[in-house]
A = this chain, B = another copy of it.
Amino acid sequence: MSISSRFAVAIHILSLLGMNKDQVNTSEWIAGSVNTNPVVIRKITGYLKNAGLVHVRPGVAGASLARDLSEISLLDVYKAVQVVPENELFGIHDQPNPACTVGRNIQQAIEPLFATAQLALEKALGNVTIADVVSNILERERLRSN
């Protein structure tokens, strides 16, 4: 099973906001680019707002960036949209048998190992910003027109 595409959609949204700073980006308009329902966009935008990444206000059309794209890492977005429960990228089976040596120690033995792997993932996400994503998009667009 994969990590929710909500993460990818959030990146899509932020890229749009960065490229259309002078436009009014309504949830319906964004939904048209992402190809989903406006409510889905509003929900995700809500996560981004709570994380302080975008500005949105009830009744006022459009979302806008709260920070420069170069100051929003993929990790910021990843955490904002909560696609993975905090420190629980890897699920652990609960209630192993305490009467067994392995059973009564496995959870604590595994936990730090999983945490290390998770941190490696997060560090990689922290090394990239949405500005990088937009640069990449623009580069690809340039190549298309040739």
Which residues from chain A sit less than 8 Å from chain B, CB to CB? 1-5, 7-9, 11-12, 15-16, 19, 32-36, 74, 83-85, 88-93, 95-97, 100-103, 105-106, 108-110, 113, 116-121, 123-125, 128, 132-133, 136-138, 140-141
Rounded to whole angstroms, the CA-CA distance of A133 and B74 in the bound complex is 31
Nearest neighbor of A125 in chain B, beta-carbon distance: B117
Rounded to whole angstroms, the CA-CA distance of A4 and B89 in the bound complex is 9
Judged by DSSP, the binding face of A is helix
A102 to B16, Cβ gap below 8 A? yes
Count copies of this chain in the complex: 2
Known: A2-B84, A101-B141, A120-B124. 5 other contacts (CB 8 A): A2-B85, A4-B91, A8-B106, A33-B100, A34-B93
